[in-house]
Structure 1
């Protein structure tokens, strides 16, 4: 089977991402990526050590699209954080199948590190102290990942919400009522509403 004379990390990552987008994360393997590149599996091992390295390359390829430029300092800190979080959400949501890989490989991604550095800078300027900044950064990352997973990989909208609304109301009065209320929620409204609640909590820990 023919193979290119050389293979860059971005080429390997793009092939792996194509496999994930088409076949899901379960379809990712060295063999599948080699086939995508029209090369033998053994030839791929000359450029990529193993699946773990492939995963890290994919995470960085996707997250390299995140703009980590600080929003204008003239804006309120929570608005600046909202902009940064929205950039991360929009970038990752374009390839939701990679979400399970992001917690494992985020510390190896220069793009995530740059985004995190910007977020921490904004939080520091808002007067949020050291330990609270750690908690805030991790909470924001967990919220983005969890919200995108819920929206794309396990949505309650549609049949899920209908199934919950159909539960016995005497046994699950709060769930059934909430499911009925949820029918009018859009994914964007749900995301922004949850982020607003999180940022309000952070605001209570900021300097006066």
Structure 2
């Protein structure tokens, strides 16, 4: 009779996510996760085949609470924006693990369900074919990029101060923009950037009647 399992996959994913939260993505290893669970590295392989499967479990745990149902009412742009906000909140809670969402976006059930809902909204707005492809990818890039900028390279911080202090004779616009960046919060940056992006998604107007 096989030995009963001591851990569920969500518990293993939670341990792995704690490793990443504490030491960054570079700290993730089967050995580190096993150590956090209090088992040997070989014992961990009873639950997951390899690191790739472990990464997939981490992504699913991050997205477990994301509502993938279509938002009710409102213009299509606002409904897409709401879908973007949901994912931003989920992955923003674990910014060090954000690269995993890109690596596993083609196989993550959570991200696939989210993408299907977004595509449904875009389709209802009149986008299809290549335009819909670009729209979905651009939206994904906006969310991932915004989370990384917010947590790993924020507008206000040492880097911005360095740019603000650049010699204005050589970098007048960079220095001025960096000073202005100090007053731009992460939420404002995300919402305004998202608005600009969605404005570019609008399907072309039908040709004028002859």
Same fold (TM over 0.5): yes
Alignment of 1:1-208 (within 5 A): 5-72=5-72, 74-203=73-202, 205=203
For 2:39, what is the secondary structure of its paired residue? coil
Distance, in Å, in 1 between the alignment partners of 2:28 and 2:15 is 10
Q: Is the 8 A contact 1:129 1:206 kept in 2?
A: no
TM normalised by structure 1 equals 0.93
Show CA shifts across 1:100-148 (max 9, x none): 1111111111110110000000000001122111110010001100110
TM normalised by structure 2 equals 0.93
For these two proteins, the number of residue pairs brought into alignment is 204
Distance, in Å, in 1 between the alignment partners of 2:129 and 2:92 is 30
Distance, in Å, in 1 between the alignment partners of 2:33 and 2:74 is 44
Q: Answer 1 or 2: which has greater helix percent.
A: 1
Q: Is the 8 A contact 1:16 1:28 kept in 2?
A: yes
Distance, in Å, in 2 between the alignment partners of 1:197 and 1:99 is 23
Unpaired stretches in structure 1, ≥5 consecutive residues: none
Moved over 4 A (4+): none
Distance, in Å, in 2 between the alignment partners of 1:207 and 1:144 is 27
Unpaired stretches in structure 2, ≥5 consecutive residues: none
- Over 3 Å counting, the alpha-carbon distance change for 1:119 and 1:207 in structure 2 is farther
